[in-house]
Structure 1
Amino acid sequence: MTGIDRHLADVRTGLDRLEPFEAYQAVREGALLVDTRPAGTRRVEGGIPGAIVIERNHLEWRCDPASDGALPQATNTDIQWIVFCDEGYASSLAAASLRTIGLSRATDLVGGFRAWRTAGLPVTD
């Protein structure tokens, strides 16, 4: 096992990761879905309706309610942020980082955008 594989496994033990249909339901109940994929990937593969686009290098500043760069949606630390990337690897690391800064309900989407699309959930072109 590589170092990153060990790190990823360790990080995921602290997350309540959501399968696509679980994430869909959580969003319907008020969770915020965050697309961290690069713009080029979003242009080619599409997106998820209603997802907030925050590229990875801005994530912590935009989600932390105490940050000067916080999004209007970042009103408190109890928000359930569901981060997704293309396949669900980088998003686990991103969600763990959000938890480190005090966003205790942050998690990610198992399998990322590809799993969401494969599950037949809504996507945009």
Structure 2
Amino acid sequence: MPLTHHVSDLVLLARSQIEQTSVQKAFRMQEQGEARLIDIRDVGELKQNGTVTGSYHAPRSMLEFWVDPHSPYHKIVFSTDRKLILFCASGMLSALATKTLMDMGMKNVMDMEGGFTEWRMQQLPIDRPT
């Protein structure tokens, strides 16, 4: 059965409906305590490449469960009025995840353009894998 929508279409649609920010602005917002960066990559990517210094790891596979206060898996870090800036490796998966959280009713969530790849290219602080 042929697909009626490709993943690139879904990412473009999500990006048209979410708030995005540059890595530089995300860095400033985190430094000023205005935002919390949420790394949604899988644990293997973190072990291989490290992560943004000060970010919180929430694997994409658990994100909706950790966000929902009615879920037995809820994490208190998501019960905040502070901006939550999601990122993945390149910004595609985090765009889709941001859209999903907005669909759940979150208003304080945004996506970091370019993801961890862009963060590293900008030479911003990272915690290297151990």
TM over 0.5: yes
Cα distance in 1 for partners of 2:68, 2:30 equals 19
**% identical equivalent positions:** 27
Spell out the pairing of 1:46-125 with structure 2 (5 A cutoff): 46-76=50-80, 78-125=81-128
Q: What is the CA deviation profile of residues 58-88 of structure 1, one whole-angstrom value per residue up to 9, with x for unaligned ones?
A: 1112123443322122224x44211111111
Superposition TM-score, scaled by structure 2 size? 0.86
Matches of 1:66 and 1:118 in 2, distance apart?
38
In the superposition, the TM-score normalised over structure 1's length comes to 0.89
Residue among 35, 38, 44 paired with 1:34: 38
3-state SS, counterpart of residue 78 of structure 2: coil
Q: What runs of 5+ residues in structure 2 fail to find an aligned partner?
A: none
Structure with the higher fraction of residues in strand conformation: 2
Instruction: Name the CA distance, whole Å, in 2 between partners of 1:31 and 1:23.
Output: 8
Inter-partner Cα distance in structure 2 for 1:79 and 1:62? 16
Contact 1:48–1:122 (Cα < 8 Å) also in 2: yes
Q: Which SS does the other structure have where 1:73 is aligned? A: helix
Larger Rg: 2
Q: Is the 8 A contact 1:95 1:108 kept in 2?
A: yes
State the superposition RMSD in angstroms: 1.6
Q: Which runs of 5+ in 1 are unaligned?
A: none
Rounded Cα–Cα distance in structure 2 between residues aligned with 1:31 and 1:62: 18
